[in-house]
């Protein structure tokens, strides 16, 4: 039996090639893309400006997949919504909708689990299970948009690849999803509204910036330390991707206005939040400070962690020291602290509930 083509696995050029290969006029690609990404339909029968014969032909050759909602939690504090999706193989992933003051941001996952092993991250506890496929990445956006209402006033304008997994370890699927997100004939988001967050895999960062087919989007790098020893302790990946080599790589990336690199720094009480840490970080960045912004993130505790959240006083002290180095710094206070906010918590809760039901 012939395998059907998942249409959400195709960028626009590939979608055009698909319709031509199936003896359909080229303009059908634009019609299909409009239904999938503008109208966000989940069946061929809803594509009413295609003839019944064309729809039947598409059903034979192609498929439209979607994610199944397992559960969700809405924060009473700030309106954030955490979604848990069930995949076709039974695994689950999380997505978080963040209600900002004047826009909506969606935090999406790229892997089931994660292999990077950061000590302060809940997602890594089960290791890496598998990469997400392109449709599973973009469907997080499509399904959440449908959930809140597919209307102009509810449009999700910002996407951050900061959920479960290391995006650049799933390079091809992330690249294809970014192509679909940014294509005006598909989801049509602004390149400046998309951010890929990486733990700092140097060769993959270089690959992304040297790839002419990877749309330029914003980059966020998890630094989380002010020296090599500290970073190795928190992020084992730094044993081979040293902080010195990482900063050299970031420094030489061509600077483009509006695409400053975000350096993410999770502040952990008694680990990396001292005045000395702040000064070391300031000196590390200050030589090329116009290229960077620092995102200070007070640690968000999860069950079983050895780490603690710093006091607000210590966070603000750290911020003020960076200001002295003329560094742009933002404190990102946690959203959704009342809804299993740390990445992987809702997924773990659901897994544990299933174990209780089975026993």
How does DSSP assign 134-198, residue by residue?
A: HHHHHHHHHHHHHHH-SSGGG---EEEE-SSS-GGGGHHHHHHHHHHHH-TTTT---GGGEEEEE
Assess whether 58 and 94 both reside in one domain.
no
72 inside domain: no
Mean pLDDT of 323-345: 75
69 inside domain: no
> Catalytic site residues?
94, 343
Assess whether 296 and 251 both reside in one domain.
yes
- pLDDT band, very low/low/confident/very high, at 128 (cuts 50, 70, 90): very high
Average pLDDT taken over every residue of the chain: 92
Structure tokens at 327: 């560094």
Q: pLDDT tens-digit profile of 18-71?
A: 999 999 999 999 999 999 999 999 999 999 999 999 999 999 999 999 999 999
Mean pLDDT of 125-131: 90
Assess whether 99 and 223 both reside in one domain.
yes
User: Measuring CA to CA, how many Å separate 124 from each of 30, 110, 192, 256, 301?
Assistant: 40, 13, 29, 33, 14
Q: Please give the pLDDT value at position 304.
A: 85
DSSP three-state, residue 121: coil
For residue 284, give its domain range: 77-358
- pLDDT band, very low/low/confident/very high, at 357 (cuts 50, 70, 90): very low
Structure tokens at 59: 């059903």
pLDDT at 240 over 60: yes
Q: What backbone phi and psi angles, to 5 degrees, belong to 331?
A: -95, 120
Name, in order, each residue with C-beta under 8 angstroms of 33's C-beta and a sequence gap of 6 or more: 12, 15, 185, 186
71 inside domain: no
215/213 Cα distance (integer angstroms): 6
344/122 Cα distance (integer angstroms): 6
Q: pLDDT tens-digit profile of 187-231?
A: 999 999 999 999 999 999 999 999 999 999 999 999 999 999 999
């Amino acid at each position: 039996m012939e395998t059907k083509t998942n249409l959400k696995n195709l960028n626009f050029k590939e979608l055009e090639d698909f319709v031509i290969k199936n003896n359909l006029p080229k303009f059908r690609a634009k019609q299909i893309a409009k239904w999938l990404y503008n109208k966000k339909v989940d069946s061929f029968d809803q594509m009413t400006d295609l003839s019944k014969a064309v729809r039947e032909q598409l059903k034979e050759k192609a498929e439209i997949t979607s994610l199944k909602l397992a559960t969700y939690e809405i924060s009473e504090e700030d309106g954030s919504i955490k979604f848990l999706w069930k995949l076709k193989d039974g695994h689950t992933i999380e997505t978080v909708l963040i209600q900002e003051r004047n826009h909506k941001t969606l935090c999406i996952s790229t892997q089931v689990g994660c292999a990077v092993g950061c000590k302060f991250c809940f997602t890594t506890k089960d290791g890496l299970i598998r990469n997400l496929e392109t449709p599973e990445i973009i469907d997080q956006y499509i399904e959440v948009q449908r959930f809140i209402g597919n209307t102009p006033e509810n449009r999700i304008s910002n996407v951050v690849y900061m959920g479960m997994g290391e995006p650049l370890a799933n390079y091809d699927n992330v690249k294809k999803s970014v192509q679909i997100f940014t294509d005006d004939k598909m989801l049509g988001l602004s390149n400046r509204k998309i951010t890929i967050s990486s733990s700092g895999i140097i060769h993959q960062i270089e690959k992304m910036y040297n790839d002419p087919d990877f749309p330029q989007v914003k980059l966020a790098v998890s630094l989380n330390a002010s020296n090599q020893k500290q970073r190795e302790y928190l992020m084992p990946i730094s044993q081979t991707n040293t902080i010195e080599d990482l900063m050299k790589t970031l420094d030489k990336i061509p600077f483009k206005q509006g695409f400053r690199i975000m350096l993410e720094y999770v502040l952990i009480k008694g680990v990396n939040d001292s005045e000395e840490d702040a000064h070391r970080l300031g000196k590390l960045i200050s030589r090329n400070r116009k290229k960077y912004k620092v995102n200070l993130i007070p640690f968000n505790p999860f069950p079983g962690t050895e780490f603690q959240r710093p006091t607000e006083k210590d966070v603000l002290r750290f911020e003020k020291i960076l200001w002295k180095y003329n560094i742009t710094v933002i404190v990102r206070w946690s959203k959704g602290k009342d809804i299993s906010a740390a990445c992987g918590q809702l997924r773990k809760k659901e897994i544990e509930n299933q174990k209780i039901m089975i026993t």
